[in-house]
Structure 1
Amino acid sequence: MKFFVPARLALFVPSLCLTSICFAEPLELDPSVITGSRSASPSFDLPYSVDSINQAQISDGQLGINASEVLSRVSGLVVQNRQNYAQDLQISSRGFGARSAFGVRGIKLIADGIPASTPDGQGQAATFNLDTAERIEVLRGPAATLYGSNAGGVIQMFSRDGEGPPRIGAETLIGSDGMSKNHLTAEGSADDVGFVLDASRMDTDGYRDHSAARRDQTFAKLNFKPDEDSKLALIYSSLEQNGTQDPLGQSWEAYKAAPRSVATNAITYNTRKSIDHQQLGLNYERYFGDATLQVNAYTGTRSVIQYLAIPKYIGNTQTLNPANARGGGVVQFDRKFYGTNVHWIQPITSAPGELIIISGVDFDQSRDNRHGYQNYNGPQLGVKGEMRRDEVDTARSLDPFVQANWAIEDWTLQAGLRYSTMEMDVDDHFLSNGDASGTKRYEKATPSMSVMYAFTPELHGYVSAGKGFETPTQAELAYAPGNQEGFNFGLKPSESTQYEMGLKAQVYNTRINAAVFQITTEDELVVAGSVGGRTSYQNAGRTLRRGFELGIESQLSEHWTTTLAYTRLQATYDSDFSSSKGTVDKGNYLPGVPQTTLFAEVNWKPADWVSTAVEGMYRSKVYVEDTNSKKAAPAYSVFNWRARFEQNVEHWTFHQTLRLDNLLDRQYVGSVIVADGNDRFYEAAPGRSWYAGAGAQYSF
């Protein structure tokens, strides 16, 4: 496989050259991370690909609305902002998660120890509150399989603790397409109790027609030490989106004729989605001599109602295909979820070097009281009509694991084994269309081993290998292929074997991470057919992913820093298979996965009170379905500019933010809907957009 930087990226060359010879905040060359080792360790000393995005990178000139603002700086990730708040971001890690039609799947999302992914692997990045984030850690490769099923990668967000004198703040932000965000915060420490309180409201008309949204987020955290040997954090968060409009995808012809256009059915049926998400978590840590006990517990609720654009004639109970009427055009569920994780971290002082054994068990459960209704009532369209679905879906996982981290002289070894189980139980209460009740259990042991050698204090090399498996989600099990009734309990999990080899270097205030990897997968889950708004899935034999990742961060003067994240990924089917669209040949590319992704940034901070940066991103073309015969979303390059100003006056701190996205006003497809049954694969990205904000904070 050849790796290259496309010629059209000539505009990036100055910044790429500067990363190796010349260029904010002082660059932290060796940040400590928890993800992977499960205990704080310098990322430079860990034998796998893991990156940390710090608070300054998350907040400096960013909007604090979508994780896509900051995750693009991590190699190996592809983050697509759908410009559709009814469907959330699309995130893939080394190809895992690229086929997701909504939300995030195939990647484990965690916030303050609380999973933002259900046991079946479906997650919501919208629950990440960027305004309170201290850092985001991203783990790729074989070591991620130690986080259980559906962990093709791990994205973990940590909120900051309340520290220092109490302070209150307010911020407002406005921008293109009617975007506004108002944000209130209070944080600090009083009587040895830290607190962080945060609330925000975001409104937007959306770039495309029929894509308006309102998002309300709240967050509260208390952290304190019950005694000298323990610490405790209580965390509450919520997300509310009422009546978020869904513009659906676009055909190629509609996108080219009018990028802001919306599918006719979206207007006819007033496609929209409402979300009410509430959760409460507890993190407890206690020290027993050298050992540490970590306990995490959480519970929450999530209510969703979504109005789809399934045509009336398909949802009619008199249809010639009664199975197609199952579910209806209105999806509604009320979810209760809870779980607990118990970990014991034990140093072995009698062993040579530094040996730490981590053992634990993770339990998670989500229970959906799920209903479906026709999306019409007589002549009225886009309203709740006759019930077509009534069931209780329960997904649960129970995963014990053990892991060893051993550093001895110039060698570092990390090995682990996790026994993952995921059980999906369906209790169908709507029997007029047949009893679809059933239970499916998936289980597998997933080992991982990584070895690193320190050639010099500034140069480390490593190899890593592991086994993983990806279970179908509830949405992927929901419909059997063809006109069959009931759940598709015949689906098997896909199983992967992953290898990685990499180098980490620290030279002249520059951090370099490079890795090559190969992933072979059996029984890949792919779309079998999409008819009448109902997508069914099948197992498709083998896939092969080979790639190269390069991450560089440099600071070679007091005022200049640069960042580069480059990914070359060749993801193909390694065997033929048949689908409703025809034969998919060996060698076809996996849809939703660009072969080349590049992010580059130059940041200038001439004084303590001002910083400014230029960002550039390139993404190669993206196939939209398995046969590779439909029009691929073309490659594109975009550039953004941002600036932040700050002033301190006694107890007051003021700041202002300016931002221009898509400086050259390019028209491009920002994301794709893989294998859409109506050939509406494309979602247009905005043209040139502006944002301006200001805020103030008072410290007591």
Structure 2
Amino acid sequence: MMPPTAHAFSPGSTDPARRHPNTRGRPAPQRLCLAVLCALTATTASAADSEKTLDTVVISGSWVEVSPFDAPYSVDGVRLDTNAGQGMRVNVSEVLGSVPGVVVQNRQNYAQDLQISVRGFGARAAFGVRGVKLISDGIPATNPDGQGQAATFNLDAAERIEVLRGPFATVYGNHAGGVIQLFSRDGKGAPRIRGSVFAGEHGTYKIGVGAEGEKNGIGFVLDTSRFETNGERDYSAARRDQSFAKITLAPDEDSKLTLLVSNLHQPNTEDPLGITWATYQRDENAVEPVALQYRTRKSIDHVQGGARYERRFGEDRLEVQAYAGEREVIQYQSIPKAAQGSPTHAGGIINFERSFHGLGLRWIAQREMGAGKLTLTTGVDYDSAEDDRQGYQNFIGNTLGVKGALRRDEINTVTSTAPYIQATWRQSDWDWSLGVRHSNVRFKVQDHYIVGPNGDDSGSGRYRKTTPAVGVLWRATPLLNLYASLGTGFETPTLGEIAYSPTGGFNLGLEPSISHQFELGVKAYVGENTRMNLAAFQINTDNEIVVAGAGGGRSYYTNAGKTLRQGLELALETELTRTLSARGALTMMRATYDEAFAGVPEGNDIPGVPRVSAWGELAWKPRAGLTTAMEAVHRSAVEVHDANADEAAPAYTLFNLRLVTEQESGPWSFSQTLRLDNVFDRKHVAAVIIGDRNGRYYEAGPGRNVYGGVQASYRF
């Protein structure tokens, strides 16, 4: 039997009734029982398939292949099948909902991307992903400042996604919560082409075509797709065109060269913004009038390319990678016309062109040492991003939602240089791991808009931090591993967080937040058909970056005092019978402010972080080519503001159903998917906008939804 793989789950729910700040405590027994039930009765359809996640290896955390069972930290490898069983593959929320400790919330707002948090880090992100590092085929999808975009992930070409949580995530640099890495397939086997069509409610469809295989020693993976939807919520239409190309070749028997190009085109994506509690109660799919008045929207064009060269020298390996790309964004916001009267206001439209590039160099050496084997990795990463950024008024005269006068013009540059070293010594039944990274992140602002009382806001800031991590794993028996790890995390402000201050200009006085993380875990087989991963963690953070206030339609940030996160993550997978399998996850976490600040009392919950979350799926595969599955998702109530005084987003439990069929006929392969989400049409808040000063905290999730799709491939 192969060692188990850490498995994924999505957080669960809590009491739908509003909790008073003074009555917070442990989850009520009935809610905890529900969460445990969701987890322990759950399963995934893919667990019964031939491509099981339990055979997955990972490299996150160590840069060498290892079974998650043998890693002294929490890491999951999630395989993505080539059939249509895992849905449309538009958002990583479709495939990462099962990872413990991870909350992936689909805002139903493609202008702002998904909301992803790991052990509570990243929950406050108003847009995109921060606090969690995103990497695709070695190329960062996260800027050097810590702000990332999951929309650039191409799931159609993905082979697996790895999720690293806890102390060893710190060896990847400027973030604190974790690392999410996507690895695309290599072109292998006979050349083949494929096509797929999905369609659902609200004018939703996705069409994709692709080709992959190997010819004359050259592997290739090509993919292009179009996704379009009118959106469940009013004013939430979106279109997303993606393309991807990967070429792999071997210059000689000891080396491998990989070339990558990808593109994302997302024009005029409607932004429905959040809604108030009163609006949510009246009509969860509604949009506030201000979004329609200013026609809030965003357009994105993103292209990047990279090359990766690997060469073996006996048991040692050299890896070199380089990448470059461009990203252009124009976003029309709902900032009122009157608020832009101040001479220091930056306007209601954000427009920037970003050029980014980077270089990575890594040497991996393996040596016999004493009674064990030492694996030593040394390397350095250099990343740079430069934004040519302008701000404009979002009106001309009395016409709203159009590009008006220039109000901001600057060059923002962020660079990061980070050498690191990591060592793992395997000695009999013990593995000892140590990692150290030194991050040097520099922000520079060149202000070219100096008009009247709007002075020169040019400036720079530098953040340096050495972040160590250490771990140990003990193989107590062939079927039981125990481990412990600890480390220090480092999280700088993002450009968006330093962009505004109460007095105008940049907030370069923001300090980075520093976290100290500790984790204990058990990874085990229970009997012949059950795998279990259990992890307990504690995270103490200083200088947490939080919303301080707002003025002129802009939020500005400050450093809070200390915060505390304590949690428990459980993942189970079991084969109940030859045809019935189950998998589930449970996360319980207490995330609070451990020190009062700015009127926020000690003990308040950190907003956006559920105390209980659970995910599970029960899959039945009565015969080859037919799989049915029932999925349960539970998430507890979450606060929406540091003060914990506004209406918390209620808890919810959702049930989903899926049917997948597959057929083969000669060189042809076919698959069909039918999915029914939110079977009982449960009204729920899918995501929250932390600290929104207009009270528009809530982003409603979809009601009962059905969609289906077909995929066909031909092998030459």
TM-score by length of 2: 0.94
Question: Match of 1:227, SS?
Answer: coil
Residue from 535, 539, 554 that aligns with 2:574? 554
1:209 and 1:216 map into 2 onto residues whose CA distance is 22
- Name structure 2 gaps, 5 residues minimum: 1-24
- Aligned residue number for residue 368 of structure 2: 349
| 3-state DSSP of counterpart to 2:645 | coil
Report the CA distance between 1:170 and its aligned residue.
1.0
- Choose which of 583, 591, 596 in structure 2 pairs with 1:563: 583
Q: In the alignment, which residue of structure 2 is the partner of 1:502?
A: 521
Residue in 2 that maps onto 1:387: 406
- Indicate the SS of the match to 1:389: strand
Please name the residue that 2:692 is paired with: 676
- 1:283 Cα deviation after fit: 1.3
Contact persistence 1:12–1:616 (CA under 8 A): no
Q: Retained in 1: the 8 A contact 2:35–2:634?
A: no
Corresponding residue number in structure 2 for 1:477: 498
Task: Report the Cα distance in structure 2 between the residues aligned to 1:601 and 1:145, rounded to whole angstroms.
Answer: 31
Equivalences for residues 264-413 of structure 1 within 5 A: 264-316=289-341, 319=342, 322-323=343-344, 325=345, 327-413=346-432
* 2:603 equivalent among 549, 574, 587: 587
Aligned counterpart, 2:18? none
SS at match of 2:107: coil
Aligned residue identity for 1:284: Y
- Quick one: distance in 2 between partners of 1:654 and 1:625? 48
Tell me by how many angstroms 1:382 deviates: 0.3
CA distance in 2, matches of 1:230, 1:396: 30
Q: 2:562 aligns with which of 514, 518, 542?
A: 542
Task: Report how far residue 530 of structure 1 moved.
Answer: 2.1
2:195 is equivalent to residue 170 of structure 1: yes
Instruction: Tell me the equivalent position of 1:415.
Output: 434
* Aligned mates of 1:429, 1:147 — CA distance in 2: 34
State how 1:242-261 maps to structure 2 within 5 Å: 242-261=267-286
Paired AA for residue 667 in structure 2: H
Equivalent residues in 2 for 1:577-656 (5 A)? 577-578=597-598, 583-656=599-672
SS at match of 1:577: coil
| 8 Å Cα contact 1:15-1:562 kept in structure 2 | no
Tell whether the 8 Å contact from 2:41 to 2:617 is kept in structure 1 after alignment.
no
- Equivalent runs, 1:449-464 vs 2, <5 Å: 449-464=470-485
Partners of 2:605 and 2:678 in 1: CA distance: 28
3-state DSSP of counterpart to 1:623:
coil
Equivalent position to 2:179, from 154, 169, 175: 154
Distance of 1:276 and 1:6 partners within structure 2: 48
In the alignment, the residues of structure 1 paired with residue 29 and residue 134 of structure 2 have an alpha-carbon distance, to the nearest angstrom, of 31
SS at match of 1:83: coil
For residues 182 and 355 of structure 1, do their structure 2 counterparts lie closer, same or farther at Cα, with a shift above 3 Å needed? same
In 2, distance between residues paired with 1:657 and 1:5? 37
Aligned residue in 2 for 1:698: 714
Q: Over residues 473-511 of structure 1, what are the superposed CA-to-partner deviations in whole Å (9 max), with x where a residue is unaligned?
A: 00000011x2x1210011000101000001000232222
Q: Does 1:25 align with 2:49?
A: yes
Higher relative contact order (CA 8 A, sep 6+): 2
Q: C-alpha deviations, 1:238-272, integer Å up to 9, x for none?
A: 11100000000000000110111101111001000
Q: Which residue, 444, 447, 451 being the options, matches 2:465? A: 444
SS in 2 for 1:44: helix
Provide the identity percentage.
Answer: 52
Contact 1:29-1:509 at 8 Å conserved across structures? no
2:489 to 457, 465, 468: 468
- The amino acid across from 2:714 in the alignment is Y
Displacement of 1:193 in angstroms is 0.6
Once the 2 structures are TM-superposed, how far is the Cα of residue 556 of structure 1 from its aligned partner? 4.1
Equivalent residue for 1:196, pick from 208, 221, 224: 221
1:435 aligns with 2:459: no
Instruction: Tell me, in whole angstroms, the C-alpha distance in 2 between the residues paired with 1:58 and 1:437.
Output: 52
Q: Is the 8 A contact 2:129 2:149 kept in 1?
A: yes
Q: Mark the CA change 1:395 to 1:666 in structure 2 (over 3 Å): closer, same or farther.
A: same
Structure 1 pair 393–511 and aligned structure 2 pair: CA distance change class (3 A): same
Number of the residue aligned with 2:37? 13
Deviations 1:366-403 (A, max 9, x none): 00000000000112110000000000000110000010
**Superposed CA offset, 1:389-436 (max 9, x none):** 000000110000010011101101110110011111000000111111
Residues 508-540 of structure 1: per-residue CA shift (max 9 Å, x gap) = 222211010000001110000123321100001
**Counterpart code for 1:155:** I
Residue 81 of structure 2 aligns to a residue whose secondary structure is: helix
* Contact 1:15–1:602 (Cα < 8 Å) also in 2: no
- The answer as to whether partners of 1:434 and 1:485 remain within 8 angstroms in 2 is no
The answer to whether the 8 A contact 1:61-1:644 is kept is: no
CA contact (8 A) 2:530 2:573 kept: yes
Question: Take 2:610 and 2:231, find their aligned partners in 1: how far apart are those partners?
Answer: 25
Q: Deviations over 1:330-353 (max 9, x none)?
A: 100000000011110011224431
Task: Tell me: CA distance 1:260–1:611, structure 2 relative to 1, closer, same or farther (3 Å).
Answer: same
Partner residue, 2:512 = 493
Q: Using a 3 Å threshold, how does the CA distance of structure 1 residues 291 and 4 change in structure 2: closer, same or farther? A: farther
Secondary structure at 1:633's aligned position in 2? coil
Whole-Å Cα distance in 1 between the matches of residues 361 and 449 of structure 2? 38
Equivalent residue letter for 1:607: R
Whichever residue aligns with residue 686 of structure 1, its letter is: P
Residues 41, 583 of structure 2: 8 Å contact kept: no
Match of 2:703 among 653, 672, 687: 687
**CA distance in 2 between partners of 1:311 and 1:515 (Å):** 47
User: Does the CA contact (< 8 Å) of 1:59 and 1:131 recur in 2?
Assistant: no
Measure the CA separation in 1 of the matches of 2:181 and 2:28: 31
Deviation at 1:56, TM superposition (A): 2.7
1:667-694 superposed Cα distances (whole Å, 9 cap, x missing partner): 0111000000100000111100000111
Residues 243 and 14 of structure 1, relative CA distance in 2, 3 Å threshold: closer
The 1:43/1:61 distance shift into structure 2, 3 A limit, reads closer
- Structure 2 partner of 1:180: 205
- In structure 2, what is the equivalent of residue 219 of structure 1? 244
- The answer as to whether partners of 1:58 and 1:70 remain within 8 angstroms in 2 is no
Q: 1:4-153 maps to which residues of 2 (within 5 A)? A: 6-7=30-31, 10=34, 13=37, 16=40, 24-26=48-50, 27-56=52-81, 59-153=84-178
CA 1:567/1:426 → structure 2, altered by over 3 Å: closer, same or farther? same
Measure the CA separation in 2 of the matches of 1:53 and 1:589.
31
In structure 2, the residue corresponding to 1:584 is in which secondary structure? coil
Find the aligned partners of 1:127 and 1:9 in 2 and give their Cα distance. 38
8 Å CA contact 2:659, 2:674 repeated in 1: yes
TM-score (norm 1): 0.96
Q: Could you tell me how far apart the structure 1 residues matched to 2:313 and 2:279 are?
A: 64
CA distance in 1, matches of 2:172, 2:319: 16
Q: Distance in 2 between matches of 1:587 and 1:670?
A: 25
Shift of 1:103: 0.2
1:606 Cα shift?
Answer: 1.5
**SS at 1:548 equivalent:** strand
Q: Distance in 2 between the 1:9 and 1:636 partners?
A: 14
